[in-house]
Amino acid sequence: MDLEYFLYPLADELNKLDLKVPGVTVGDSTTTYTLYGYLISWPTDMPAGAKLLQMTGHGGKHPDRFWCFHGVWGGKHYYFPPTHPVSKVLLFALSGRRAPVRTAESIQASAAEVERSRELGMSSAAGTRLVQRSGVKGYSLSFAPSPAGRQKYPHLQYSWNLGPAAAPYDTMHLLLLSVVPFLWQLFSGQVLITGTADDYVLLPVDRTAIDKELERARDTASLSQARSLRNIDTRFRSYKAVDWMAFVLFL
């Protein structure tokens, strides 16, 4: 079943809140007020956020919902070097010239282009190329609605104007499960930088200190969580996001 099928009742309620709700009392006050309610954020994990925006997500050629990064196919998945390995074209830079920023208008335009290709009966391959090029799969009720959606929910314009800013990336997937585990591989000497890891590897005494901190934390954590606060040298492969968060704090 299409995910957006389940969002229409929610959109109906939000449309009424954005319009106004008269006669509301606050606390013990005898005065009534007119309430306006606005949706300003969709807190989701990364896959759910991509589904809400109808975007290809982190596995696509243009995965980022804020910047138009261009991925390079590596045989099994896309990766994102600053310079294209074949053409040597600069793909993005941390300073100076940067990738274009996505906006509510640009996502709406990409969604309309993809939907128009379907209406015109273009081939599936041509439609797939459009989606890969833009990173947008089609109309999104919450971010880039169809003309019919705009007509049905006229008071949700405020939410649509927020664009991708209304669906920020979650820390769990972006940092704790994507970045920190690789930092541990660097700190533990599994990844070598310029032929040596001497400047990066934590000494055994440092790792032992972290283990002791983890052991002491068991007394302040729930039983289910305390079980996973274990020796990082031997058990790091089974660490979950909250374990990596504890590791960063103790480090």
* Cα–Cα distance list, 56 to 102, 179, 227 (Å): 14, 21, 37
User: Mind listing the pLDDT tens digit for each residue in 146-202?
Assistant: 999 999 999 888 889 988 888 888 888 888 888 888 888 878 777 665 555 566 778
Contact 167, 49 (CB under 8 A): yes
Mean pLDDT over 87-106 rounds to: 82
Mean pLDDT over 50-61 rounds to: 87
* Cα–Cα distance list, 229 to 46, 226, 250 (Å): 26, 5, 12
Handedness of CA 7, 69, 130, 56 (dihedral sign): negative
For the chain, count helices (H), then strands (E). 12, 4
Neighbouring residues of 134: CB distance < 8 A, sequence distance ≥ 6: 62, 110, 113, 114
Token pair of 106 as six digits = 């640009």
DSSP for 190-205, please give it.
SS-BTTB-TTTPPPHH
Predicted pLDDT of residue 199: 66
Mean pLDDT over 5-26 rounds to: 89
Instruction: Pick the more confident residue, 48 or 219.
Output: 48
Contact 186, 193 (CB under 8 A): yes
* Token pair 């273009």: residue: 122
Predicted pLDDT of residue 111: 94
- For the cut 60, the answer to whether the pLDDT of residue 138 exceeds it is yes
| Length of the chain measured in residues | 251
Predicted pLDDT of residue 95: 74
What confidence category does residue 120 fall into, taking pLDDT thresholds of 50, 70 and 90? Answer: very high
Q: What is the mean pLDDT of the chain?
A: 84
Residue type at position 104: A
Mean pLDDT over 234-243 rounds to: 81
Token pair of 41 as six digits = 């954020």
